[in-house]
Amino acid sequence: MAGDRALVLGGGGVAGIAWQNGVLVGLGDAGVEVADAELLIGTSAGANVAAQFASGLSREELFRRQIDPRVQSRELVPPGNPLADLAPVWAAIGAESGGDPLEERRRVGAVALATRTVPEAARRAVVETRLPAHEWPNRRLLVIAVNAESGQPRVFDRDSGASLVDAVAASSAVPGVWPTVTINGAHYTDGGVRSTTNADYAADCARVLIIAPMPGPPVDQEIADLTARGIRVELITPDEATQTAFGDNPLDTATRIPAAEAGRAQGKSEADRIAAFWG
């Protein structure tokens, strides 16, 4: 196998970024350093977190950035609760796609391309401020996005010809909320359009830890498929305190501090279980 351990970080809005930071820091507080995995896979919020923890910045400084109002004031906040508003749109697309995942992704991509949001450069600037380092790390990091025209997934890494900031922005381009990201003439939307975790890209590892702010049946299927290949898998999902911190709008920046703090507490509480798995 290409690497013994993979850390998979999933999508979940700004609340998911803060919570996953908290979980990783809380695990580290208890002596369990899972961000040292041979492979990091990030999707949407998780792409931001993966890039943050691959930057070389200390755990404590990464956590401080999540709760520092000066850092968070640079975020853009979409009006209302767009994920809730768009839920009927995604449900209709799913029904109209006849069970064809590629067709469903194409239709979602079409919505992403047609929706007028903030300028692409303004959104990129937000992602740029989130990342302590703007160069790809000297380690294996995969960032997942979806081509908005073709519906095909795209895996960005240091050899893909895309900058780290552009790759993370593409993976985080929530369709209907944020603009698609242009890379080498192609337009990309959120990697969560394919899967909130895309854990199947860790199929060449022996152990896979998935941290999923938004779990569900697709994540369960990925775990089942990995397990069927003889891969050991553990999953961390939001506990009750985290769900309260998330509220009903994970894109609301007001969720950041409570989500980060809930994540740190949960990381500490999960440490014994994960230590036994991680080694």
pLDDT in tens, 144-193: 999 999 999 999 999 999 999 999 999 999 999 999 999 999 999 999 99
Instruction: Find where tokens 């938004």 sit.
Output: 214
CATH architecture of 5-77+117-278: 3-Layer(aba) Sandwich (3.40)
Residues whose CB falls within 8 Å of the CB of residue 276, separated by 6 or more in sequence, listed in order? none
Backbone angles phi, psi at 32, to 5 degrees: -110, 105
Residue in 44, 171, 172, 195 annotated catalytic: 44
Residue with tokens 């025209």: 149
| pTM (two decimals) | 0.96
The pLDDT, as a whole number, for residue 114 is 97
- The total number of residues written for the chain in this structure: 279
Active site residue 157: no
Residue pair 214/12 in contact (Cβ under 8 Å)? The answer is: yes
- Residues above pLDDT 70, as percent of the chain: 99
**Of residues 166, 190, 200, 252, which has the active-site annotation?**
190
Question: 36 catalytic, yes or no?
Answer: no
